[in-house]
C-alpha cells in the first residue's frame, strides 16, 4: 500500500492505493538430484541416499507449488553409472563425474570384489547403471555406493591423457598394476584385450574398443584405475511450463509474472534425457523466459502514478 496526493479535481486529497507486482520473476534454480534426503527421497524413495554429481542443496519445487505451480514427471531421474569415489572421502555426497569418454576410449568396468567384467561399457547410462546396482550395494557414511573399478590401459590413457592426468591430479585415478584389482581381473582384461584385437567376440557384445592397445595382460601390466559408482545426475521432472517458459498452474494456465527455465522445469525430456539436451534447453527456454520477462518489465516499470 502507498499514499498519493491527487492533483486536478480533488487536488490535495490523499488516497491509498494498492500496488500488486506480478513479477517478472524467472526461476532457474536447477534440479533436485543432489537433494538426496529431500525431494529425491520424496519422489523416488528407491534412490534416497544416493550420491550425486550435483550439489547437495534443497530442490526448489516446494517454493513453486506454494504459488500454485504444477509439477510434472517428478519421478523421472537419470542416474549416471560412473561418478568417481574419492578414496580420501568416500562418504562425500557430491561426486565428480567420470566422463563417458573414459569408457569410449577403451575404459573397462570391473567389479571391485572379484575383478569380473559384467556389462558392455558402451551401453546407455540406464543399462550400465542397472548392471552395476544389481550387485553388492555398500553403505559408507549413510551413502549408498557400489564397488566398481574403471580401468584404462596405456593406449586409452594416451588418448584421454589431459582428462586422466586431471583426475590423477585430483586423486580420483592412479597409475597402477592389474595385480591391484580383484582376483579375476587378469582373465577379464585378457578376454577384453582379445576382443579388442579381433581374436574373439566380446562376451558382452561390445564392438568398439577405443584406443585399447594392451594385448597380453599380466598381473604387472600397467593400468590406470579409478573407483566409480552410480550417482543421481539429472532430474527430468520439475515445474510445468509452456513453450514461452511461462510457469503453469494446475489448470495448465500461465501464472502471471512467473517464468522458469533449465533443470528446475519438467516435461521436456520424457523418461530420460539425451546427452547435451540439458544445456540446449537452458539456452532455448532461458532466452524465451528472458524475452517474456523483459516485455513485462518494459510495460510495468517505472511506475507512473
Ligand atoms: C557434472 C555434470 C556434467 C554435465 N554435463 C552436461 C553436458 O555435457 N551436456 C548437457 O547438456 N548437460 C550436462 N549436464 C546437465 C546440465 O549441466 C544441467 O542440467 C544444467 O547446468 C542446469 O542448469 P540450470 O541453470 O537449470 O541449473 P544449475 O546450473 O543447477 O544452477 C542453479 C543455480 O541456482 C542456485 N539456487 C538453487 N536454489 C536456490 C534458491 N532457493 N535460491 C537461490 N539460488 C538457488 C544454485 O546454487 C545454482 O547456482 C551436466 C551436469 C553435471 C552435474
Quick check: 237 pLDDT over 60? yes
Taking the C-alpha atoms of residue 103 and residue 106, their distance in angstroms, rounded to an integer, is 5
Reported as a single tens digit per residue, the pLDDT across 148-175 is 999 999 999 999 999 999 999 999 999 9
103 in active site: yes
Q: CATH number for the domain including 114?
A: 3.90.700.10
Can you spell out the DSSP letters for 74-113? TT-EEEEEEEE--TT-TT-SB--B--HHHHHTT-EEEETT
Reported as a single tens digit per residue, the pLDDT across 53-112 is 999 999 999 999 999 999 999 999 999 999 999 999 999 999 999 999 999 999 999 999
Q: Cβ-count burial of 240 within 10 angstroms (0-12 exposed, 13-18 middle, 19+ buried)?
A: buried
pLDDT of residue 305: 44
pLDDT of residue 234: 97
Specify whether 228 is located in the same domain as 280: no
Q: Which atom of ligand 1 is nearest to the CA of 263?
A: 26
> In the chain, where do the E strands start and end?
2-5, 14-17, 25-27, 71-72, 77-84, 108-111, 137-140, 143-146, 148-152, 174-177, 222-235, 238-239, 246-248, 254-260
Q: CATH number for the domain including 280?
A: 3.50.50.60
Q: Is the CB of 282 under 6 A from ligand 1?
A: yes
Among protein residues, the one whose CA lies closest to atom 7 of ligand 1: 276
Reported as a single tens digit per residue, the pLDDT across 40-55 is 999 999 999 999 999 9
Q: How far lies 256's CA from each of 21, 253, 262, in Å?
A: 10, 9, 19
Reported as a single tens digit per residue, the pLDDT across 108-126 is 999 999 999 999 999 999 9
Quick check: 16 pLDDT over 90? no
pLDDT of residue 300: 75
57 in active site: no
Specify whether 138 is located in the same domain as 69: no
Q: Which atom of ligand 1 is nearest to the CA of 281?
A: 11
Q: Is 1 part of a structural domain of the chain?
A: no
| pLDDT cut 90: percent of the chain above it | 87
Could you say which of 212, 232, 252 is where a domain stops? 232
Reported as a single tens digit per residue, the pLDDT across 247-282 is 999 999 999 999 999 999 999 999 999 988 999 999
Taking the C-alpha atoms of residue 44 and residue 67, their distance in angstroms, rounded to an integer, is 23
pLDDT of residue 10: 74
Is the backbone peptide bond immediately before 24 cis, with ω within 30 degrees of 0? yes
DSSP-based three-state secondary structure for 238: strand
Q: Is 15 part of a structural domain of the chain?
A: no
Site of grid cell 589431459:
162
Ligand 1 centroid to 263 CA: how many Å? 7
DSSP-based three-state secondary structure for 295: helix
pLDDT of residue 269: 95
* Confidence tier at 23 by pLDDT (50, 70, 90): confident
DSSP 46: G
Specify whether 176 is located in the same domain as 284: no
Among protein residues, the one whose CA lies closest to atom 43 of ligand 1: 29
Active-site hit among 80, 206, 269, 288:
80
Specify whether 103 is located in the same domain as 227: yes
Neighbours of 232 (CB within 10 A): 27
pLDDT of residue 19: 58
Reported as a single tens digit per residue, the pLDDT across 283-302 is 999 999 999 999 988 887 65
pLDDT of residue 303: 55
Instruction: Provide the domain limits for residue 173.
Output: 79-232
Q: Is 86 part of a structural domain of the chain?
A: yes
Q: Is the CB of 129 under 6 A from ligand 1?
A: no
Domain count, the chain: 2
* Confidence tier at 14 by pLDDT (50, 70, 90): confident
Ligand 1 centroid to 30 CA: how many Å? 5
Active-site hit among 44, 103, 117, 206:
103
Quick check: 219 pLDDT over 50? yes
Amino acid at each position: 500500500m502507498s499514499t498519493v496526493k491527487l492533483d486536478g479535481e480533488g487536488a490535495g486529497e490523499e488516497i491509498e492505493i494498492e500496488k500488486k507486482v506480478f513479477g517478472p520473476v524467472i526461476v532457474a534454480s536447477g534440479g533436485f538430484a543432489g537433494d538426496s534426503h529431500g525431494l529425491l527421497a520424496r519422489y523416488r524413495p528407491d534412490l534416497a541416499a544416493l550420491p550425486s554429481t550435483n550439489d547437495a542443496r534443497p530442490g526448489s519445487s516446494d517454493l513453486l507449488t506454494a504459488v500454485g505451480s504444477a509439477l510434472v514427471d517428478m519421478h523421472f531421474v537419470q542416474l549416471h553409472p560412473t561418478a568417481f569415489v574419492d578414496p580420501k572421502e568416500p562418504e562425500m555426497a557430491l561426486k565428480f563425474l567420470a566422463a563417458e569418454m573414459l569408457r569410449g576410449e577403451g575404459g573397462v568396468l570391473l567389479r571391485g570384489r572379484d575383478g569380473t567384467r559384467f556389462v558392455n561399457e558402451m551401453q546407455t547410462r540406464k543399462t550400465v547403471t542397472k548392471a552395476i546396482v544389481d550387485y553388492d550395494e555398500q553403505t559408507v557414511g549413510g551413502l549408498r555406493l557400489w564397488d566398481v573399478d574403471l580401468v584404462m590401459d596405456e593406449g586409452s590413457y594416451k588418448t584421454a591423457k589431459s582428462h586422466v592426468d586431471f583426475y590423477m591430479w585430483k586423486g580420483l585415478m592412479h597409475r597402477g598394476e592389474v595385480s591391484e584389482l580383484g582376483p579375476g581381473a587378469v582373465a577379464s582384461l585378457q578376454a577384453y584385450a582379445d576382443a579388442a584385437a579381433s581374436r574373439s567376440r566380446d562376451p558382452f557384445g561390445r564392438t568398439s574398443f577405443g584406443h585399447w592397445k594392451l594385448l597380453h595382460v599380466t598381473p604387472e601390466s600397467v593400468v590406470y584405475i579409478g573407483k566409480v559408482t552410480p550417482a543421481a545426475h539429472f532430474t527430468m521432472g520439475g515445474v510445468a511450463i509452456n513453450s514461452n517458459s511461462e510457469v503453469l498452474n494446475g489448470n495448465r494456465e500461465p501464472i502471471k509474472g512467473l517464468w522458469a527455465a533449465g533443470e528446475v522445469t519438467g516435461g521436456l525430456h520424457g523418461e530420460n534425457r539425451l546427452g547435451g539436451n540439458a544445456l540446449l534447453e537452458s539456452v532455448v527456454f532461458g532466452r524465451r523466459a528472458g524475452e517474456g520477462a523483459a516485455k513485462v518489465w518494459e510495460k510495468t516499470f517505472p511506475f507512473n502514478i
